[in-house]
Amino acid sequence: QVQLSESGGGLVQNGGSLRLSCAASGRTFSTYAMGWFRQAPGKEREWVAVISWSGGIKRFADSVRGRFTISRDNAKKMVYLQMNSLKPEDTAVYYCVAGNRLPDECDYWGQGTQVTVSS
């Protein structure tokens, strides 16, 4: 079992930056790929970024590539999403996820953290 808890969301101006953090519990954390999804009001949930268990492989959705980065610290059981050059369309609830077949299948979800980008 893996439990996930996100933090770091908030209100930021257009063009600003935020860093989301995800704290994980569970002995098997380091064996899972980790990632971030988001869901904007009235829209379907979409994947944003994923990182392999070792951190050596990273993938990003086209909408955030070049602006967002993902990283993990297996010793601390933490995953991070650094978001730069934020746009109003990045406004969403952001979820931390864990699984072995990301982004197609997510085994564990956090409760989410709200990110709001003002125009």
List Cβ<8 Å contacts ≥24 apart for 13-16: 13/117, 13/118, 14/86, 14/87, 14/88, 14/117, 14/118, 14/119, 15/85, 15/86, 15/87, 16/86, 16/117
User: Which pLDDT value is given to residue 11?
Assistant: 98
69 has a pLDDT exceeding 90? yes
Alpha carbon 34 to chain centroid distance?
8
45 has a pLDDT exceeding 90? yes
